Amino acid sequence: MYRFIDHTADIAFEVEAETLDGLIEEASKAFYEAFVFTDRLEVTEEVEVEVETDSEDYLLYKWLNELLYLFDTRHFAGKEIAVKIDGLKAKGVIKGGQLRDELVRCEPKAITLHKFTVERKDGGWRAFVVVDI
């Protein structure tokens, strides 16, 4: 589950899931929904993503930065996301397609560390993310 939070000059979202894998999947969906009309995005390709870090919170941060990199350099957006965590490594497959101008809601600039949190909560996981636009 994810929900958007009103925030000036940025887009913020809060994500909750039972597992860390699920948290990254939901955060990915929130990222794409914030910037892309995903209901109109055609699934035409799969992209494999892998990130590794030394802490659980930066795993999500690095993952979202990889999505931003794909958005900016390959003009790729995802619609279906599957992630598996192995220690402090996240590996996943994103099914999506190429962005066209009419599919972009607005352009993300950076995943920020402003109020960025990843925490265990009530037997699950919670994250708060702010993206500079």
pLDDT digits (tens, 9 = 90+) for 67-110: 999 999 999 999 999 999 999 999 999 999 999 999 999 999 99
Question: Measured in Å, how far apart are the chain's first and last C-alpha atoms?
Answer: 23
Given this model, what pLDDT does residue 2 score? 77
Query: In this structure, are residues 116 and 57 in contact, taking their beta carbons and an 8 Å threshold?
Result: yes
Pick 2-132's CATH classification: 1.10.10.10, 3.55.10.10, 3.40.50.300, 3.30.460.80: 3.55.10.10
Whole-prediction pTM: 0.91
